Amino acid sequence: MADYHFVYRDVEGATTQWDDIQRKLGNLPEKPEPFKPPPFAPRVDADEQPKSKEWLDARDPDELEELEDDLDDDRFLEQYRRMRLAELKEAAKTARFGTVQPITGSDFVREVSQAPRDVWVVVFLYKDAIPECGLLETCLEELATKYAETKFVKIISTDCIPNYPDRNVPTILVYNNSAVKGTYVGLQKFGGKKCTPESVALALCHSYPVLNDGQGGGDSSRNNVMEGVRRKFIEKVVSQLETREDEDDSD
Q: Is the pLDDT of residue 162 over 70?
A: yes
Q: What is the dotted CATH code of the domain comprising 100-234? A: 3.40.30.10
pLDDT digits (tens, 9 = 90+) for 217-231: 444 566 777 677 667
pLDDT digits (tens, 9 = 90+) for 47-73: 455 555 566 666 666 666 666 555 555
One DSSP character per residue, 33-79 reads PPP-PPPP-----TTPPP--HHHHHT--HHHHHHHTTTSS-HHHHHH
Domain boundaries, the chain: 58-94, 100-234
Q: Provide CB contacts within 8 A for 218, sequence distance 6+.
A: 205, 207, 208, 209, 212
More confident call, 79 vs 109: 109
Q: Is 163 left (phi over 0), alpha (psi -120 to 50) or beta?
A: left
More confident call, 233 vs 109: 109
- pTM over 0.85? The answer is no
Taking all residues of the chain, what is their mean pLDDT, rounded to a whole number?
Answer: 77
What pLDDT is stored for residue 231 in this prediction?
A: 72
Q: Which of 14-18, 67-71, 128-132, 212-216 has the lowest mean pLDDT?
A: 212-216
Average pLDDT of the residues in 160-184: 96
